[in-house]
Chain A
Amino acid sequence: MMLGILGGRIYDPQNGKDGEVGDIWVKDGRIVAADEVDRERAEVVDAAGLVVMPGGVDIHAHIAGGEVNSGRKLRPEDHRGHERARSGNLRAGAGGTVPSTHLTGYLYSELGYTTVMQASAAPLVVRHTHEELEDVPNLDKGAFIVMGNNHFVMQCIADKQPQKARDYVAWLLGASRGYAIKIVNPGGVENWKWGKNVAELDDEVIGYGVTPRQIVQTLAAIADELGLPHSVHIHGINLGRHTSARTTVEMIAALDGHRAHLCHLQFLSYGAGRGHVHKSEAAAVAAAVNANPGVTVDIGQVIFGNATTMTCDGPLQYGLHRTTGHKWINDDVEGESGGGIVPVTYKPGNPINGTMWLTGMELFLLIDDPWRVFLSTDHPNAGPFTSYPQVIRLLVDRDYRREMFESLHPRARKGALLPELDREYSLGEIAVITRAGPARALGLEHKGHLGVGADGDIAVYEECADKEAMFARPRYVYKGGELVARDGVVVADVTGRTFSVAPEYDTGIEAELRAYFKKAYTVSFDNYSVLAGHGPATEIVACG
């Protein structure tokens, strides 16, 4: 199979291309040099006047696994009116903020995205995540493994055995076929099993005497020591609270130079405002990010409309349930994690929602280096991924941004920094924050660019004044060189890959784990790894 996309304006920031006219050639799913292709036999697309970018890369979304599926089951009201009928070999599906698996893949194709990382999975139930990922077509994927409240890790820290923690983490990533270490509210989720939380980096985790600071430092160091392609991926403490900006800045300082990705930073950048309405502390948080080159972030931009919040942060979700009165799922997972789900609706007329919206915008505009700030809505927490084109328009079009700002509740607008921020993202910068940047932060060398050897994941757009319309309807989308969407409509269902890591470790730890499992788990050690039984077929990405 050979393909040529000819004469398009190429936005490939990784390879220094910022709209230069050129050709892209694809052979056997990979991008190749022009002389490797037999032009007579290649399928050729005239891209003259069109914008050519690598396929989009989403570094943080909830698309598959326990929390996502509970969210689907919880919300029949969210699916109705968002159905998709089967068509040829394309499967039927439903869901607005939490679409069914096949529809999720199709909707991403229809935006020009080709790679998406599942933001969290507890290893005890990651077999479920992998089963669903197999049913998400048209995307390459990976799953982040939650460890920030893991009993074995916390015991190693308490016993001052970082080496053992490292062997365990390496074993666990391999056994769960995970891609990265995820931390969610370190220590706070464990304390929630006692009906409590943590509020400071030096608060104690009940029963272990360790602190959120120690958990973050230990796991960030392990990610670097193991040479994992992606850094530790952190959802910090105090999410949604007025103390979150302060503890986020403290956490960045505590990283001690280790790499880290801070996810959905918007939710963790608030300070105390007047009368129970938080205020944005984006400036302080952005300054801390700017000063620490090892830190990358995604924003979790709030989209006005319906959303379904779902995180491993159990106490946060309970708080949301108490605040909104909406239906609530909680799920405590033995030895590892927890989580909750609450549906929400973000409204511009709500002063708190307005503050959340502008906090995200300010972070986007105040973080200087686009290679370290990535587009996300923490799908479906701050809004569905289908709203990405709207976020792009907000970033490239300050008049549109101002118009939306004016629609916010006056208490959200009062004193806001946003009106002073005139920055507009260029198309090249959009290509960075939606493709090249996240691919680099993930260590996926074949993703996010169009150089020779890259995967044939390509999105071709027709440029128009309204960038939301442009990015909502790609002319052509190719996954591994195969056309999967045309004129904004999915046309094919192709199987994607799942990436995982398998770092080396001292296998001597397995004997201890076998004994530990007998008392710590209700599942046999031998059945815990997803490699037992119908394990998923994953592609191992090298460490080092």
Chain B
Amino acid sequence: MTTVVEHVACPFCGCLCDDLTVEAEGTEIRKVRLACSSGRGIFMDYDPRPRRPLVDGREVEWDEAVAEAAKILSAADSPLIYGLSSSASEAQRKAVALADRIGAVIDSTSSVCHGPAGLAMQAVGEPTCTLGEVRDRADLLVFWGCNPDASHLRHFPRFSLTAKGALTPNGRADRTVYVVDVRPTGSSKKADHFLQVDVGSDFEVLTTLRLLVRGLEPSVDTVGGVPVTQLKELVERMKSCRYGVAFMGMGLTMASARQLNVAELFTLVAELNEFAKFSVIPMRGHGNVTGADQVLTWTSGYPFAVSFARGYPQFSPGEFSAVDMLARRAADAAVILASDPGAHFPAAAAAQLERIPTIVLDHGPSVVASHARVLFPTAAYGVDAAGTAYRMDNVPIPLKRVISTGRVSDEEILDRIIEAVA
């Protein structure tokens, strides 16, 4: 039987494009319309076969796997719950409930991507807007340390570079576009102006822009490899635009100075509002990493790197962030939810994950799943499980179940584990 589902949201990246059409024959997805190549893969490469949980690589019944997971967590002194960002908010809420119940440390992939943007926000605030405001109003775009041309493939046509909106009926022609990065990228080739910054010099360049906005004169001709004349030109455009938007990525958060870079950009954007309307949007990666921040914040007060070990929430990035918990060998068991720190973490942290018992919930294969003590094969939100995800601009989008495979969602498994450890 052929089913056609319209207005499907793609769970791949923080754009959460919700205009896809997915055609399936039973549990086989046959066609996906409007998705980018990354999003297409989510649907077309999905293996819908139901699988049973594994304990030490051995297929077991669900009850046994849940009991084993509960046993591991009950025996642990310092359990860690990590991942969250490719799950739905419904499951993220359960993950925090579990952390609260067992006194765990809980952290999301935020701590290794846009965590510093969160710290910058806590330090200086963040003037922002939804992506529709960008499409409808923005006549000046500045992409800093990000490359949506490769990472967020429909960002340009749907929201930013070429998108047509109420005050931007001609799309690209109605906008001036800057890219600031340490090397030329696909995005910089599509920009009107590319400012190539020396590696590690973003902060100096941003500070100089703030200085120029205030009408002060730097005593040098070049900052961070960029001629001051070019920075002056950018400042003039920023001060005189109708609605400016800066997008920032991991080129700022994961370069040296991290949150200081981002705080400098956020402050620049705030200060520009004296002259022109200006907003900034962090270019969030994983489909629901924004939701992970939101859920952790409303349940604990803090966006990531939260410990419930003392019974109440404590926030300490660098201490309760997953990489640090593992590298310090401070975690003695882990629940990994829909992410692969085995592949992406520094060696010392990844090695600890092989030493301690892990409970992995994932819909596909991963490095961390390959040596899990308990592996729960789950449904994928947006494919065979429904839920809620938050777009990079904090707009919540419903994820649909486009095929019915009988696979179990993260939410249901976490619920059973919570029950079993109670």
Contacts and interface: CB of A to CB of B under 8 A. Distances in A.
Interface of A: 64, 66, 68-70, 72-76, 79, 83-86, 91-95, 98-102, 124-125, 127-128, 131-132, 135, 192-195, 318, 321, 327-335, 341-342, 519-527, 532-534
9 contacts: A68-B298, A92-B312, A329-B126, A335-B132, A522-B159, A524-B7, A525-B7, A533-B386, A533-B399
Contact of A195 (B101, B273, B302, B397): B273
A79 B301 contact: yes
B298 A76 contact: no
B90 interface: yes
B151 interface: no
B302 A79 contact: yes
Interface of B: 6-7, 9, 18-19, 89-90, 93, 97, 100-101, 118, 121-133, 135-137, 158-159, 165-166, 242-243, 270, 273, 276-277, 279, 293-294, 297-303, 308, 310-315, 386-388, 390, 394-400
Contact of B123 (A68, A135, A327): A327
Nearest to B316: A76
Contact of B312 (A84, A194, A321, A533): A84
Contacts of B100: 86, 91-92
Given A86-B308, A100-B297, 5 more contacts: A73-B297, A85-B311, A131-B396, A335-B132, A533-B399
A127 B312 contact: no
A100 B300 contact: yes
Contact of B19 (A135, A321, A524): A524
A333 B398 CA distance: 18
A85 B89 contact: no
Given A194-B277, A527-B9, A533 B398 contact: yes
A83 B312 CA distance: 6
A124 B18 CA distance: 14
Given A332-B130, A522-B132, A135 B301 contact: no
Nearest to A73: B297
Given A86-B101, A328-B270, A127 B394 contact: no
Contacts of A327: 123-125
A318 B18 contact: no
Contacts of A102: 299
Nearest to B296: A73
B105 to A, nearest CB: 13
B312 A94 contact: yes
B156 to A, nearest CB: 13
Top-4 shortest CB links A-B: A533-B398, A334-B132, A85-B311, A327-B125
Instruction: Give the interface SS of chain B, mostly helix, strand, loop or mixed.
Output: mixed
Contacts of A100: 297-301, 313
Contacts of A86: 100-101, 308, 311-312
A94 B300 contact: yes
A335 B277 CA distance: 16
Given A94-B300, A135-B298, A524-B18, A333 B130 contact: yes
B18 A523 contact: yes
Contacts of A533: 386-388, 398-400
A333 B100 CA distance: 33
A334 B19 contact: no
Given A124-B395, A135-B299, A534 B388 contact: yes
Given A64-B298, A132-B298, A330 B127 contact: yes
Contacts of A522: 130-132, 135, 158-159, 395
A94 B243 CA distance: 37
A17 to B, nearest CB: 39
A73 B114 CA distance: 14
B36 to A, nearest CB: 16
Nearest to A87: B311
A127 B273 contact: no
Given A194-B277, A521-B132, A321 B396 contact: no
